[in-house]
Amino acid sequence: MVLFSGGQDSTTCLAWALDRFAAVETVAFDYGQRHRVELACRERVRAELVRRFPGWAARLGEDHLLDLGVLGRISDTALTREAAIALGENGLPTTFVPGRNLVFLAFAAALAYRRDARHLVAGMCETDFSGYPDCRDDTMKAMQVALNLGMERRFVVETPLMWLDKAETWELAERLGGADLVELVRTETHSCYLGERGQLHEWGHGCGACPACELRAKGWRRYRAAAAP
Ligand code: ZN
């Protein structure tokens, strides 16, 4: 069960899962995020993966979209309200949605329980991140323990990007699916916090100025510089 939002990270995670597991399903959460463009990218990314990677097509199963609108209604953040993206007084960006990844994992596990899936694959990363405490490796490990105790299962929370920086995430995509997958991630996935698709930059679509675009662009440049002869 892959937590798949349609962004660069979760698309790379989906490819990672398709490379390893015979049966893969995807889940996303609609929590009233200001911009739905990421969710709109999901279907296209899934369709393109099927079209361009016949070996993976047979492994890619159902897609689930869960309504978690209540999370957006109780949160006061730049992702769910008209607020500026900045660093808050607590040192966390205003894009931090408290509890988001904990809630996501709990719902993904509840769904995995029903679907008889054992591995929960998610794109959390504490290497090139914005300081979100719910992206930490310790948070994920604690969550795995809590889910297994609370649901009497043996779920494995897989976070293949945890110790990769953004350049290495591009490299992982290349290792998994070659230039074809890199191009798919570059042109079809979405990371921009402002929800802008706009023009296609060398690193993909986006406003080019928000923290998510900056991180993505910086990673792309380092990845390309490392690939240059
Ligand atoms: Zn942006």
Q: Are 134 and 125 within 8 A, CB to CB?
A: no
Percent share of the chain, pLDDT over 90: 68
Mean pLDDT (the chain) is: 90
pLDDT per position as a tens digit, 183-210 = 999 999 998 888 888 889 999 999 999 8
Q: Which of 21-30, 35-44, 179-188, 203-212 has the lowest mean pLDDT?
A: 35-44
Quote the ligand 1 centre to 208 CA distance (angstroms): 5
| Mean pLDDT, residues 135-149 taken together | 96
* Domain ranges (residues) in the chain: 2-227
Query: In degrees rounded to 5, what are phi and psi of residue 223?
Result: -65, -45
Q: Which of 13-22, 49-58, 84-93, 127-136 has the lowest mean pLDDT?
A: 84-93
Quote the ligand 1 centre to 205 CA distance (angstroms): 8
| Mean pLDDT, residues 147-168 taken together | 96
Q: What is the pLDDT of residue 63?
A: 97
Better pLDDT: 167 or 40? 167
Quote the ligand 1 centre to 126 CA distance (angstroms): 20
Quote the ligand 1 centre to 138 CA distance (angstroms): 29
Band (pLDDT 50/70/90 cuts) for residue 211 is confident
Quote the ligand 1 centre to 154 CA distance (angstroms): 38
Quote the ligand 1 centre to 31 CA distance (angstroms): 19
Alpha carbons within 13 angstroms on the beta-carbon side of residue 78 total 18
Quote the ligand 1 centre to 29 CA distance (angstroms): 20
Quote the ligand 1 centre to 33 CA distance (angstroms): 15
Q: What is the pLDDT of residue 210?
A: 86
Q: What is the pLDDT of residue 112?
A: 98
| Cα gap 130→93, rounded to integer Å | 7
Quote the ligand 1 centre to 206 CA distance (angstroms): 5
Quote the ligand 1 centre to 215 CA distance (angstroms): 10
Quote the ligand 1 centre to 191 CA distance (angstroms): 7
Band (pLDDT 50/70/90 cuts) for residue 123 is very high
Quote the ligand 1 centre to 192 CA distance (angstroms): 4
Quote the ligand 1 centre to 171 CA distance (angstroms): 22
Quote the ligand 1 centre to 26 CA distance (angstroms): 25
Quote the ligand 1 centre to 194 CA distance (angstroms): 5
pLDDT per position as a tens digit, 59-97 = 999 999 999 988 878 876 666 666 666 677 776 766 677
| Cα gap 130→209, rounded to integer Å | 15
Alpha carbons within 13 angstroms on the beta-carbon side of residue 168 total 9
Q: What is the pLDDT of residue 81?
A: 64
Domain 2-227 has CATH 3.40.50.620: yes
Whether residue 107 has pLDDT greater than 90 = yes
Q: Which of 25-34, 68-77, 138-147, 206-215 has the lowest mean pLDDT?
A: 68-77
Q: What is the pLDDT of residue 80?
A: 63
